[in-house]
Amino acid sequence: MGKLFAIIGAIAYYLFYPFLLIMILLGPIMEFPVLLEIYELETPRAGLTLSVLCIVGILLFLSYKYPRLGWLYRKFPVMIPLLQMFFITLTGIELGIFFANLWADKFLYSKGVAIFLSIVSLIIVRSYLSYWYSKYPISYKVHKV
Amino acid sequence: MKKVKKQSNQPSTEFDQLSSEYSQDQAAPEIVPHQSKIRRSLGWSALTIVGIAILSGFFTTSYSDEGTAEEVVANRISTATEAGENLFTEENNANIEARDFEVTNAGSDGGEARMLIWDFNLEDFDEVAVLVDGVPVKEKLILSENAAAISIPVPSTVTVRGVKDVGGGISYAVKFPNNKSTYFNVVTVGQSNTYTVLPRP
């Protein structure tokens, strides 16, 4: 019975998996212009939203945790660090969009503060990735000097 | 057949099967270096974003906070609607009539305010013209789901005139982020709605 549930779960997961991949791989490329557009046109724009990002993050984590859901990673091992990088970058961009929208739509603070918060969120995720991959390099061939 | 017989002889329960599968999952060899750390990093990132999303819920609002779409539009002024929100999926005027509004508390006297304008129901690309103190700022503004921003002086009189009706009337919403209010309105081709923008007292 447990196995049946696991198989049904895996089938349900794989039906959604292509959308998950599209969202994560194209997300940063598609969302960054949205962030720029908010500041250029001074109008709020809906991004992927943080709640969608939560679901994407949890589903991605499940595919890392259960080998049954990660056949693609066995075929293309590079996907493991790649998707993590893209997801964390997308998180930063979405956070930037969230702060930008609080200014553009609700005027909770000035434009300067909004730009500052957006840049800070991008810098935080970028430095986190730099720190992380300098500590745990993707390849053993990479040696720190 | 032989295999089935062998399996049935084993005193394994469902729980044992599950736990053995689980341990197999756990013991799976790493495909890339630091895979378990990447997994943990992603898990923490996902948890962090869940936390941030919960916190962001305190700052985000929607028209649904104030009631159904019909109620919100019928009340004409909303403080919870976000710019660009679609309240209806079909083109109708939600039984409202053209009206002029007085926008109070729109910004500091002598300063500038932003006005956002968008189509609050089915996006059918109706066109309007926007005039500030009688001077055309936008001769042709195509209303869409994406709000357009217009910078206006405070105090001033903003006129929205209907230019092209694709069908079902020209319905639009105007939001002034400074006073966080959204005004739902309709206009016909050639007719105008006026918004008297007043400064903070």
Give me the pLDDT at residue B17, please. Answer: 52
**Mean of pLDDT over chain A:** 88
Which of B33, B45, B52 is closest, CB to CB, to A139?
B33
Interchain proximity B41–A73, CB inside 8 Å: no
CB count within 10 Å of CB B169 equals 20
Q: How many CB atoms lie within 10 A of CB A31?
A: 22
CB B169 within 8 A of CB B95: no
Q: How far apart are the first and last CA of chain B?
A: 89
* pLDDT < 70: residue spans in chain B: 1-29, 93-94
Name the nearest CA neighbour of A132 among B39, B159, B13: B39
**Mean pLDDT confidence for A22-36:** 93
- Exposure string of A118-138, with b = 16+ CB inside 10 Å and e = fewer, is beebbeebeebbeebbeeeeb
With CB atoms and an 8 Å threshold, state whether A43 touches B148. yes
Chain B segment 67-126 residues within 8 A of A by beta carbon are 82-84, 114, 116
CA distance linking residue A78 with residue B129, whole number of Å: 53
Q: Say what the pLDDT of residue B143 is.
A: 92
pLDDT attached to residue A143:
54
Domain residue limits, chain B: 63-197
Q: What is the pLDDT of residues B74-111, one digit of tens each?
A: 889 999 888 888 888 877 766 788 889 999 888 888 88
Predicted local distance difference test score (pLDDT) of residue B87:
86
ipTM of the complex: 0.84
Q: How far apart are CA B94 and CA A110, in angstroms?
A: 35
pLDDT computed for residue A88 by the predictor = 93
Name the residue among B17, B31, B33 with its Cβ closest to that of A74: B31
pLDDT band per the 50, 70, 90 thresholds, residue A140:
low
Which comes out higher in pLDDT, residue A132 or B14?
A132
Q: At what angle do helices A2-41 and A111-135 cross, to 10 degrees?
A: 140
